[in-house]
Amino acid sequence: MNPMPPDDDDSRALAPPPPVSRVADRARAPGPRLGPDVLKRVQERDPAALAEFFETYFDRVYALVSRLLGDRTQAEDAVSEVFLKVHRAIDRLDPARDPMPWLVTIASNACRDHWRSGAERMRRAALPVDDPALRESLTSGANEPERDLIRAEREQAVRAAIAELPDDLRESVLLYDYADQSHEEIAAALGITHDAARKRHSRALVALGRTLKERLA
Protein backbone atom coordinates (compact mmCIF):
# COMPACT_ATOMS: atom_id res chain seq x y z
CA MET A 1 0.00 0.00 0.00
CA ASN A 2 1.63 3.19 -1.10
CA PRO A 3 0.56 6.59 0.06
CA MET A 4 -0.59 8.52 -2.95
CA PRO A 5 -0.03 12.24 -2.96
CA PRO A 6 -2.95 14.21 -4.28
CA ASP A 7 -2.54 14.79 -8.00
CA ASP A 8 -4.14 17.25 -10.29
CA ASP A 9 -7.12 15.00 -10.86
CA ASP A 10 -7.94 15.27 -7.21
CA SER A 11 -7.82 19.01 -6.94
CA ARG A 12 -11.57 19.04 -7.51
CA ALA A 13 -12.03 16.67 -4.64
CA LEU A 14 -9.68 18.45 -2.29
CA ALA A 15 -11.53 21.70 -2.53
CA PRO A 16 -14.71 21.17 -0.54
CA PRO A 17 -17.64 21.30 -2.94
CA PRO A 18 -19.88 24.34 -3.00
CA PRO A 19 -22.87 24.19 -0.71
CA VAL A 20 -25.83 22.52 -2.30
CA SER A 21 -29.32 23.76 -1.86
CA ARG A 22 -30.28 20.42 -0.36
CA VAL A 23 -33.34 20.20 -2.53
CA ALA A 24 -34.71 16.95 -1.29
CA ASP A 25 -34.37 14.34 -4.00
CA ARG A 26 -35.93 12.07 -1.46
CA ALA A 27 -36.37 11.90 2.26
CA ARG A 28 -33.15 10.78 3.90
CA ALA A 29 -32.18 10.16 7.45
CA PRO A 30 -28.92 12.05 7.98
CA GLY A 31 -26.07 10.11 9.50
CA PRO A 32 -24.24 11.36 12.58
CA ARG A 33 -22.23 14.48 12.00
CA LEU A 34 -19.87 16.70 13.90
CA GLY A 35 -20.59 20.23 14.98
CA PRO A 36 -18.62 23.29 13.82
CA ASP A 37 -16.62 23.45 17.05
CA VAL A 38 -15.24 19.96 16.61
CA LEU A 39 -14.64 20.50 12.89
CA LYS A 40 -12.69 23.65 13.72
CA ARG A 41 -10.43 21.58 15.95
CA VAL A 42 -10.20 18.96 13.21
CA GLN A 43 -9.04 21.70 10.88
CA GLU A 44 -6.34 22.53 13.41
CA ARG A 45 -5.31 18.85 13.48
CA ASP A 46 -6.12 18.40 17.13
CA PRO A 47 -5.53 14.65 17.67
CA ALA A 48 -8.65 14.15 19.80
CA ALA A 49 -10.82 15.90 17.23
CA LEU A 50 -9.22 13.94 14.40
CA ALA A 51 -10.07 10.74 16.24
CA GLU A 52 -13.65 11.93 16.68
CA PHE A 53 -13.84 12.83 12.99
CA PHE A 54 -12.56 9.37 12.09
CA GLU A 55 -15.06 7.67 14.40
CA THR A 56 -17.92 9.66 12.91
CA TYR A 57 -17.21 9.17 9.22
CA PHE A 58 -14.98 6.13 8.79
CA ASP A 59 -17.73 3.49 8.73
CA ARG A 60 -19.74 5.28 6.05
CA VAL A 61 -16.68 5.90 3.90
CA TYR A 62 -15.49 2.32 4.28
CA ALA A 63 -18.93 0.90 3.48
CA LEU A 64 -19.19 2.97 0.32
CA VAL A 65 -15.68 2.18 -0.89
CA SER A 66 -16.08 -1.48 -0.05
CA ARG A 67 -19.26 -1.75 -2.11
CA LEU A 68 -17.77 0.29 -4.97
CA LEU A 69 -14.65 -1.88 -5.22
CA GLY A 70 -16.16 -5.17 -4.10
CA ASP A 71 -12.91 -6.36 -2.57
CA ARG A 72 -11.81 -6.03 1.03
CA THR A 73 -8.10 -5.58 0.41
CA GLN A 74 -8.61 -2.98 -2.29
CA ALA A 75 -11.14 -1.23 -0.09
CA GLU A 76 -8.62 -1.01 2.74
CA ASP A 77 -6.01 0.43 0.39
CA ALA A 78 -8.47 2.94 -1.05
CA VAL A 79 -9.82 4.01 2.34
CA SER A 80 -6.26 4.52 3.56
CA GLU A 81 -5.70 6.78 0.56
CA VAL A 82 -8.92 8.65 1.29
CA PHE A 83 -7.92 9.43 4.85
CA LEU A 84 -4.39 10.34 3.79
CA LYS A 85 -5.83 12.86 1.31
CA VAL A 86 -8.28 14.13 3.90
CA HIS A 87 -5.44 14.63 6.36
CA ARG A 88 -3.44 16.56 3.81
CA ALA A 89 -6.34 18.80 2.86
CA ILE A 90 -7.95 19.11 6.27
CA ASP A 91 -7.03 22.76 6.66
CA ARG A 92 -9.35 23.47 3.73
CA LEU A 93 -12.29 21.90 5.53
CA ASP A 94 -15.18 24.29 6.07
CA PRO A 95 -16.38 23.77 9.66
CA ALA A 96 -19.75 25.24 8.73
CA ARG A 97 -20.62 22.43 6.32
CA ASP A 98 -21.21 18.71 6.58
CA PRO A 99 -17.96 17.12 5.36
CA MET A 100 -19.69 13.96 4.12
CA PRO A 101 -20.14 15.11 0.48
CA TRP A 102 -16.49 16.10 0.42
CA LEU A 103 -15.49 12.69 1.76
CA VAL A 104 -17.71 10.99 -0.81
CA THR A 105 -16.00 12.93 -3.59
CA ILE A 106 -12.54 11.91 -2.40
CA ALA A 107 -13.69 8.31 -1.96
CA SER A 108 -15.17 8.20 -5.46
CA ASN A 109 -11.96 9.51 -6.97
CA ALA A 110 -9.92 6.97 -5.01
CA CYS A 111 -12.12 4.18 -6.34
CA ARG A 112 -11.71 5.45 -9.88
CA ASP A 113 -7.95 5.34 -9.44
CA HIS A 114 -8.30 1.71 -8.42
CA TRP A 115 -10.55 0.90 -11.36
CA ARG A 116 -7.86 2.27 -13.65
CA SER A 117 -5.07 0.36 -11.93
CA GLY A 118 -3.74 -3.08 -12.73
CA ALA A 119 -5.06 -4.36 -9.42
CA GLU A 120 -8.53 -4.27 -10.95
CA ARG A 121 -8.08 -7.73 -12.44
CA MET A 122 -7.61 -9.10 -8.94
CA ARG A 123 -10.95 -7.69 -7.96
CA ARG A 124 -12.59 -9.12 -11.05
CA ALA A 125 -11.02 -12.49 -10.36
CA ALA A 126 -11.49 -12.81 -6.63
CA LEU A 127 -14.74 -13.51 -4.86
CA PRO A 128 -15.69 -11.11 -2.11
CA VAL A 129 -15.38 -13.03 1.12
CA ASP A 130 -15.51 -12.63 4.82
CA ASP A 131 -18.04 -9.86 4.98
CA PRO A 132 -18.65 -9.38 8.71
CA ALA A 133 -22.01 -7.73 8.04
CA LEU A 134 -23.25 -10.66 6.01
CA ARG A 135 -21.89 -13.09 8.56
CA GLU A 136 -23.68 -11.20 11.30
CA SER A 137 -26.92 -11.22 9.32
CA LEU A 138 -26.68 -14.98 9.01
CA THR A 139 -26.66 -15.40 12.75
CA SER A 140 -29.07 -12.65 13.68
CA GLY A 141 -32.23 -14.64 13.05
CA ALA A 142 -33.88 -16.51 15.86
CA ASN A 143 -32.79 -19.93 14.68
CA GLU A 144 -34.39 -19.51 11.27
CA PRO A 145 -31.72 -20.98 9.04
CA GLU A 146 -33.95 -21.21 5.97
CA ARG A 147 -34.89 -17.56 6.12
CA ASP A 148 -31.26 -16.61 6.78
CA LEU A 149 -30.11 -18.64 3.82
CA ILE A 150 -32.65 -17.06 1.46
CA ARG A 151 -31.68 -13.62 2.66
CA ALA A 152 -27.98 -14.37 2.26
CA GLU A 153 -28.51 -15.68 -1.26
CA ARG A 154 -30.53 -12.63 -2.19
CA GLU A 155 -27.89 -10.31 -0.77
CA GLN A 156 -25.22 -12.18 -2.68
CA ALA A 157 -27.25 -11.86 -5.90
CA VAL A 158 -27.73 -8.13 -5.38
CA ARG A 159 -24.06 -7.61 -4.67
CA ALA A 160 -23.08 -9.61 -7.73
CA ALA A 161 -25.51 -7.68 -9.93
CA ILE A 162 -24.20 -4.35 -8.63
CA ALA A 163 -20.62 -5.50 -9.16
CA GLU A 164 -21.43 -6.30 -12.79
CA LEU A 165 -22.75 -2.83 -13.53
CA PRO A 166 -20.43 -0.56 -15.51
CA ASP A 167 -18.32 1.55 -13.17
CA ASP A 168 -20.27 4.78 -13.71
CA LEU A 169 -23.64 3.11 -13.12
CA ARG A 170 -22.40 1.24 -10.05
CA GLU A 171 -21.03 4.48 -8.68
CA SER A 172 -24.34 6.22 -9.28
CA VAL A 173 -26.55 3.66 -7.60
CA LEU A 174 -24.26 3.21 -4.61
CA LEU A 175 -23.78 6.92 -4.02
CA TYR A 176 -27.52 7.55 -4.07
CA ASP A 177 -29.11 4.47 -2.58
CA TYR A 178 -26.31 3.23 -0.35
CA ALA A 179 -24.40 6.36 0.67
CA ASP A 180 -27.52 8.52 0.81
CA GLN A 181 -26.15 11.27 -1.38
CA SER A 182 -28.63 13.43 -3.27
CA HIS A 183 -28.48 13.81 -7.04
CA GLU A 184 -27.23 17.32 -6.52
CA GLU A 185 -24.42 16.15 -4.26
CA ILE A 186 -23.55 13.35 -6.69
CA ALA A 187 -23.47 15.83 -9.56
CA ALA A 188 -21.06 18.01 -7.58
CA ALA A 189 -18.91 15.03 -6.63
CA LEU A 190 -18.67 13.61 -10.15
CA GLY A 191 -18.48 16.91 -12.00
CA ILE A 192 -21.63 16.32 -14.02
CA THR A 193 -24.92 18.14 -14.26
CA HIS A 194 -27.79 17.45 -11.91
CA ASP A 195 -29.86 16.18 -14.82
CA ALA A 196 -27.07 13.83 -15.94
CA ALA A 197 -26.74 12.48 -12.40
CA ARG A 198 -30.47 11.82 -12.22
CA LYS A 199 -30.57 10.09 -15.63
CA ARG A 200 -27.52 8.01 -14.87
CA HIS A 201 -29.07 6.88 -11.62
CA SER A 202 -32.27 5.92 -13.40
CA ARG A 203 -30.33 3.90 -15.99
CA ALA A 204 -28.42 2.16 -13.21
CA LEU A 205 -31.60 1.16 -11.40
CA VAL A 206 -33.19 -0.16 -14.57
CA ALA A 207 -30.11 -2.21 -15.41
CA LEU A 208 -29.91 -3.54 -11.87
CA GLY A 209 -33.62 -4.32 -11.76
CA ARG A 210 -33.50 -6.23 -15.05
CA THR A 211 -30.59 -8.34 -13.96
CA LEU A 212 -32.27 -9.19 -10.68
CA LYS A 213 -35.53 -10.02 -12.43
CA GLU A 214 -33.66 -12.66 -14.44
CA ARG A 215 -31.75 -14.06 -11.49
CA LEU A 216 -34.27 -13.96 -8.71
CA ALA A 217 -37.27 -15.05 -10.73
Q: Which of residues 155-214 bind another protein (CB under 8 A)?
A: 155-156, 158-159, 161-162, 164-166, 169, 173-174, 176-178, 202-213
Is the CB of residue 42 less than 8 Å from the CB of residue 90?
yes
3-state secondary structure of 166: coil
Nearer to another protein, 166 or 191 (CB): 166
Q: What is the smallest separation between the CB atom of 104 and another protein, expressed in angstroms?
A: 15
Residue span 126-155 as binding mask against another protein, x where in contact by CB under 8 A, dash where not:
xx-xxxxxxxxxx-------------xxxx
Site for another protein in 58-97 (CB under 8 A): 58-59, 62-63, 66-67, 71-73, 75-77, 79-80, 83-84, 86-88
What is the Cα 132 distance to its own chain's centre? 17
- Residue 33 makes contact with another protein by CB under 8 A: no
Is residue 31 at the binding interface for another protein, with CB under 8 A as the rule? Answer: no
Are 162 and 170 in contact by the 8 Å Cβ rule? The answer is yes
Q: Decide whether 89 or 190 has the Cβ nearer to another protein.
A: 89
CA distance 49 to 51: 5
Torsion angle defined by CA atoms of residues 16, 17, 19 and 20, in that order, rounded to the nearest 10 degrees: -150
192/216 Cα distance (integer angstroms): 33
Q: Does 25 participate in binding another protein (rule CB under 8 A)?
A: no
Nearer to another protein, 72 or 97 (CB): 72
What part of residues 96-115 is at the interface with another protein (CB under 8 A)? Answer: none
Q: Which span (12-20, 107-115, 119-127, 188-196) binds another protein, by CB under 8 A? A: 119-127
In contact, 163 and 170? CB cutoff 8 Å: yes
* Cβ contacts of 43 within 8 Å, gap of 6 or more: 90, 91, 93, 95
